[in-house]
Amino acid sequence: MVRIRRAGRMRAMLRFSCVLLLAACAQVPAPTGGASDASAATTDDLRAAYRRPPAEWPQPTIDAGVAFVELGRLPKAVFPADNPWSKEKEALGRALFFDGRLSGTQQMSCASCHDSVLGWADGRTTSFGHGAQALARNAPSILNAVHGVHFFWDGRAASLEDQALAVFENEKEMATSGTAVVEKLASSRGYRAMFASAFGDDEPTMARTLAAIATFERMQQSDGSSAFDRFVGGDAAALDDAQLRGLHLFRTKARCVNCHHGPAFTDHGFHDVGLSYYGRKFEDLGRYRVTKDPADVGRFKTPSLRNVARTGPYMHNGLFDLPGLVNMYSAGMAVLQPKPEQRDDPLFPKKSPLLHKLDLSQGEKGDLIAFLEALSDRRRRVMAPELPALGDR
C-alpha cells in the first residue's frame, strides 16, 4: 500500500517536472566519449592550455558579482578548535555511526542512509525512514563534510555536531532522544571504555556522542585519487579528451562554475534552480524555511560535485539522473509561471539569474558528464566495526 502510494507520488512528480521542462526530459545525450563539437585540433589546444597550473587556465565564464574561486585539489582539512581529531574519538564515532541499536526502533543507524558503497548516500530518490515513512528529501553524501559550511539542503545546521543532534531527534530518522541514547551508552562497559579513552572519563554525554560522530564524519575525505585531482597534480594523461573538453565546458560555456567552484565544487551558497514546486503538491521552500526571507524561497544549498557520479539520484528531491540533469541545465532550467492568483505573491520564487539557456550539443552534454565522472575517488568501503555489548554494566 505504502509502496503503491510512493510510486504514484513519484510518477506525479516526474510528470510535473517533464511538463515544466517541456522537451528537456525527452532528450538523452549521447553516451560519454562521443565526438563533441570541439575538433581534434581544439582538443590539442585545450590540452596545452590546461597543462598549465589552474591559476593560468583559460578565463572562466562568470557573471558579475560571483566570488569565483578556481577549481583544484582540496586543502588539508581543518578540525574545529573545540573538537580536535583524535584516533580514539574517531573510533568511537565510527561505532556510533554504525550502531542501529541507538535508534528508537533499534534498527536504523546513520549508515542505513549514508553508506560508503553508495558514495555515503543511500541510492534512493528520497530516504526511507522508520516505519517505512518516506523522507521528503534525498540523502546527501557525508564525504568532504569537513569542508562544509552549512548542513542539510536548506542549511539549517551550522555544524556536524548540530546536524547529528537534529537527526537523533527526528522521528523519521533516528526517532530517539538524547536522554535515551546516553542511557543506552551508559549501560555498556565497552562504550564506557571507549568514552574514557576518547574524553578522559567514562561518562557518555550527548555532547561527547555528537563530537565523536562528527569526528568520524570529518575523516571521510576525498583522497586525491580522482582523475581530476591527478590531472591537476601534473598527470597530463589523467583526463581523456572528453573529460578535458568537459572541464573546459564546465568552466566556460556551460557556466557551472558560477556556483560549483573552488576545490569542493561549491560556493557554499543557496540558489533557486527552479525545483521548488511552489504552490504545488510537492512544494519545498528550501532555505526560506530557515531564514523566512522571501528572497530565499526555493533556494537550496549548492552541493559539492566530488564523487557525484556515485551519489545518484540527484537534487534535493532525488528526481534526476545525470543525463536528465544536464538536459535541464542546457535548457536553462524550468521557469515557474505564476498562476493569476500568484501574480502579486511576494513569496513567488525567482529562479537564479546565473542560469542561462546553454544550448549544449549532444556531444557537449556527453563531455560534461564525462568530466563529472572524472571527479570520482578510488572506491573505498568503510565497514561497521565490532560493536560493544549494551546493558552489561
Interaction site with ligand HEC (CB under 6 A): 108, 110, 112-114, 127, 129, 135, 137, 139-140, 142, 145, 148, 151-153, 160, 163-164, 167-168, 173-174, 213, 217, 254-256, 258-260, 271, 273, 275, 300, 302-303, 305, 308, 311, 314-316, 325-326, 329, 352, 354-355, 368
Q: Quick one: 160 or 370, whose CB is closer to ligand HEC?
A: 160
**Closest approach of Cβ 373 to ligand HEC, in Å?**
11
**Closest approach of Cβ 272 to ligand HEC, in Å?**
8
**Closest approach of Cβ 340 to ligand HEC, in Å?**
26
**CB burial readout 44-70, b (16+ within 10 A) else e:** eebeeebeeeeeebeebbbeeebeeeb
Nearest to 304 by CA among 215, 211, 220: 220
Instruction: State whether the Cα torsion 12-17-20-24 is positive or negative.
Output: negative
**Closest approach of Cβ 126 to ligand HEC, in Å?**
7
C-alpha cell at 177: 532522544
| CB atoms inside a 10 Å sphere around CB 224 | 14
> What does the alpha-carbon distance between residue 262 and residue 49 come to, in Å, rounded to a whole number?
19
Q: Quick one: 46 or 157, whose CB is closer to ligand HEC?
A: 157
> What does the alpha-carbon distance between residue 24 and residue 112 come to, in Å, rounded to a whole number?
34
Q: Quick one: 25 or 326, whose CB is closer to ligand HEC?
A: 326
Instruction: State whether the Cα torsion 155-221-127-138 is positive or negative.
Output: positive
**CB burial readout 90-113, b (16+ within 10 A) else e:** bbbbbbbbbbbbbbbeeebbbbbb
Q: Quick one: 158 or 236, whose CB is closer to ligand HEC?
A: 158
> What does the alpha-carbon distance between residue 230 and residue 89 come to, in Å, rounded to a whole number?
31
Q: Quick one: 45 or 171, whose CB is closer to ligand HEC?
A: 171
Q: Quick one: 236 or 244, whose CB is closer to ligand HEC?
A: 244
**Closest approach of Cβ 85 to ligand HEC, in Å?**
16
Distance of CA 16 to CAs 21, 270, 281, Å?
A: 9, 23, 10
**Closest approach of Cβ 199 to ligand HEC, in Å?**
18
Identify residue 217 by its one-letter amino acid code.
E
> What does the alpha-carbon distance between residue 267 and residue 276 come to, in Å, rounded to a whole number?
20
Q: Quick one: 150 or 235, whose CB is closer to ligand HEC?
A: 150
**Closest approach of Cβ 197 to ligand HEC, in Å?**
21
